[in-house]
């Protein structure tokens, strides 16, 4: 099956700085790559996703890039704020609905 | 908003017990999923169902079974609970359209003693 690796496992950034989380996947047939954010004590929620026919997608302060050749994709958060502190999960899928998740990155934004 | 409701937030069971985790969605969605979440391992798919009475194994089905007798309800069954099944269990449904993606339940933290 699909294997998704995510780095780093923890990330501490100063408020206002950028944060980058990287994921690699193993199955070249994967074509859907969502990112989920899980705040402490809450359920994961989709924040952004990208498909294999697109190289980059932005939504306000967050962006995702995809390199199909290298089989890796990244989440970029600019101008980080305290409410960005959470666990972020990347995922990959061939079918859209059957996701394989990375291990998660705990992001802490320091005031 | 779509609601995915898990019947218990916290559960403590003894080794060897048969455990039922219930999940109910309030929309008419075909696809429902059970994941377990462990620190450092992320979310791992146990089972999913794409229609009533239909099920498919995920990545870690051993020690688990599922039941889907009605479209809105998807149950995860631990046939004989063991301590290594202590975990957070998350149910999800998959949405298309405006709110594309997974909607997760609030989770059940199961402790097996």
Give B42-63 as a DSSP string.
Answer: EEEEEEEEEETTEEEE-S--TT
Say what the pLDDT of residue A53 is. 87
Q: Which of A78-82, B66-70, B78-82, B96-100 shows the lowest mean pLDDT across its residues? A: B96-100
Strand B108-112 with B10-13, pairing: parallel
Say what the pLDDT of residue A13 is. 98
- Mean pLDDT for the stretch of residues B55-79: 95
Say what the pLDDT of residue A57 is. 94
Say what the pLDDT of residue B29 is. 81
- Mean pLDDT for the stretch of residues B30-37: 94
pLDDT at B72 over 90: yes
Q: Per the structure block, which two tokens stand in for B79?
A: 């046939």
- d(CA A20, CA A7) in angstroms, rounded, equals 9
Per the prediction, chain A carries an average pLDDT of 95
Say what the pLDDT of residue B94 is. 87
Could you tell me the pLDDT band of residue A18, with boundaries at 50, 70 and 90? very high
- d(CA B77, CA B54) in angstroms, rounded, equals 15
Is B94 in contact with A9 (Cβ distance < 8 A)?
Answer: no
- d(CA B61, CA B73) in angstroms, rounded, equals 19
pLDDT at A89 over 90: yes
Is B100 in contact with A49 (Cβ distance < 8 A)?
Answer: yes
Phi and psi angles of residue B25, each rounded to the nearest 5 degrees, phi first: -115, 150
Encode A73-85: b = buried (16+ Cβ within 10 Å), e = exposed.
Answer: bbbbbeebeeebb
pLDDT at A96 over 80: no
B54 touching A (Cβ < 8 Å): no
Could you tell me the end-to-end alpha-carbon distance of chain B, in angstroms, rounded to an integer?
36
- d(CA A88, CA A102) in angstroms, rounded, equals 9
Left (φ > 0), alpha (ψ -120 to 50) or beta: where does A4 sit? beta
- d(CA B31, CA B36) in angstroms, rounded, equals 17
Could you tell me the pLDDT band of residue B80, with boundaries at 50, 70 and 90? very high
**Triad A65, B45, B30: Cα angle to 5°:** 90
Shortest CA gap A109–chain B (Å): 20
Could you tell me the pLDDT band of residue B97, with boundaries at 50, 70 and 90? confident
Residues of A in contact with B90 (CB under 8 A): 43-44
- d(CA A89, CA A102) in angstroms, rounded, equals 6
Say what the pLDDT of residue A58 is. 96
Say what the pLDDT of residue A26 is. 96
Residues of A in contact with B43 (CB under 8 A): 44, 89, 99, 101
């Amino acid at each position: 099956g699909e294997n998704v690796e995510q780095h780093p496992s923890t990330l501490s950034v100063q408020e206002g700085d950028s944060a980058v989380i990287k994921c690699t996947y193993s199955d070249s047939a994967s074509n859907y790559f969502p990112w989920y954010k899980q705040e402490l004590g809450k359920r994961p929620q989709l924040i952004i996703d990208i498909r294999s026919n697109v190289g980059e997608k932005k939504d306000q302060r967050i962006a995702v890039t995809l390199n199909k050749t290298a089989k890796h994709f990244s989440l970029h958060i600019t101008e980080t704020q305290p409410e960005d502190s959470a666990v972020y999960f990347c995922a990959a899928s061939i079918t859209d609905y059957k996701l394989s998740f990375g291990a998660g990155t705990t992001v802490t934004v320091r005031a | 908003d779509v609601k995915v409701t898990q019947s218990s937030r916290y559960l403590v069971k003894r080794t060897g017990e048969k455990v039922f985790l219930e999940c109910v969605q309030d929309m008419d969605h075909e696809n429902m999923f059970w994941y377990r979440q462990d620190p450092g391992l992320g979310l791992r798919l146990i089972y999913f169902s794409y229609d009533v009475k239909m099920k498919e194994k995920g990545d870690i089905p051993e020690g688990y079974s599922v039941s889907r007798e009605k479209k809105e309800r998807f149950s995860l069954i631990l046939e004989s609970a063991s301590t290594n099944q202590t975990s957070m269990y998350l149910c999800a449904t998959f949405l298309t359209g405006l709110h594309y993606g997974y909607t997760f339940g609030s989770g059940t933290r199961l402790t097996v003693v």
